[in-house]
Chains A and B, each alone.
Chain A
Amino acid sequence: MIEVLSVITSATVQDLGRWGYQRYGVPVSGVMDEVSARIANYLVGNPDNTPLIEFTAGGISIKFHTSAVFAVTGDATLYLNDTQLEPWESYWAKRGDVLTVRLSKGMYGYIAFSGGIECRKILGSCSTYLRAKFGGLLKPGDKLKLGYSLLTGKAGKRLPEELRPRFDKTVRVILGPNIEHFTPEGMRTFLTSEYTVTPESDRMGYRLEGPRIEHSEKGADIITEPIPRGAIQVPANGKPIIMLADAQTTGGYAKIATVIRVDIPMVVQTRPGEKLRFKAVSVNEAVQELRKRERIMNAIRKALQDEWNLYRIKVGKEEFLIFAGMEED
Chain B
Amino acid sequence: MKVRVVGDSCIAIIFGEDISEETNRKVHALADYLLNYNPEWLLDVVPSYSALYVYFDPLMIDYREVIDIIGKIKINEVERKEKRIIKIPIAYGGEFGPDIEFVAKYNGLSVDDVIEIHSKPLYRVYFLGFLPGFAYLGGMDERIATPRLEKPRLKVPAGSVGIAGKQTGWYAIESPGGWRIIGRTPLRTFNPEKIPPSIVSPGDYVKFVPIDENEFWEIYREEWGND
Residue A19, interface by CB 8 Å: yes
Residue A312, interface by CB 8 Å: no
Among listed A42-50, A65-73, A183-191, A282-290, interface-contacting one:
A282-290
Contact among A21, A250, A258 for B130, CB-based, below 8 A? A250
- A131 and B59 in contact, given A177-B5, A249-B46 (Cβ under 8 angstroms): no
Residues of A within 8 A of B129 (CB): 25, 224, 226, 248-251
Write the A275-300 contact mask toward B (1 if CB under 8 angstroms, else 0). 00000000100110011001000000
Residues of B within 8 A of A255 (CB): 6
Describe B's contact surface by its main secondary structure: loop
Residues of A within 8 A of B51 (CB): 223, 225-226
Residue A324, interface by CB 8 Å: no
- Do the beta carbons of B131 and A123 come within 8 Å of each other? no
Among listed B73-81, B149-157, B177-185, B196-204, interface-contacting one:
B196-204
- A23 and B192 in contact, given A225-B51, A226-B53 (Cβ under 8 angstroms): no
Describe A's contact surface by its main secondary structure: mixed
Residue B85, interface by CB 8 Å: no
C-alpha gap A174/B9 in the complex (Å): 11
Residue A20, interface by CB 8 Å: yes
Write the A6-33 contact mask toward B (1 if CB under 8 angstroms, else 0). 0000000000000111111111100000
- Do the beta carbons of A21 and B197 come within 8 Å of each other? yes
Residue of A nearest to B198 (CB): A24
- Do the beta carbons of A260 and B195 come within 8 Å of each other? no
Contact among B7, B128, B133, B197 for A231, CB-based, below 8 A? B7
Residues of A within 8 A of B107 (CB): none
Residue A261, interface by CB 8 Å: yes
Residue B33, interface by CB 8 Å: no
- Do the beta carbons of A176 and B128 come within 8 Å of each other? no
- A177 and B136 in contact, given A22-B44, A132-B192, A223-B19 (Cβ under 8 angstroms): no
Residue of A nearest to B28 (CB): A23
Residue A308, interface by CB 8 Å: no
Write the A108-121 contact mask toward B (1 if CB under 8 angstroms, else 0). 00000000000000
Distance of A248 from chain B, by nearest CB (Å): 5
Residues of A within 8 A of B134 (CB): 25
B residues adjacent to A (C-beta < 8 A): 4-10, 12, 17-19, 31, 43-51, 53, 55, 58-59, 62-63, 127-134, 136, 172-173, 175, 190, 192-193, 195-198, 201-202
Instruction: Provide a sorted-by-A list of 23 A–B residue pairs whose CB atoms are within 8 angstroms.
Output: A21-B132, A21-B197, A22-B44, A22-B46, A23-B31, A23-B46, A24-B132, A26-B132, A26-B197, A132-B173, A133-B173, A174-B7, A223-B48, A225-B51, A228-B6, A228-B7, A248-B130, A249-B128, A255-B6, A261-B9, A286-B58, A287-B8, A290-B8
A residues adjacent to B (C-beta < 8 A): 19-28, 122-123, 131-134, 174, 176-177, 223-226, 228, 230-231, 248-251, 255, 258-261, 283, 286-287, 290-291, 294
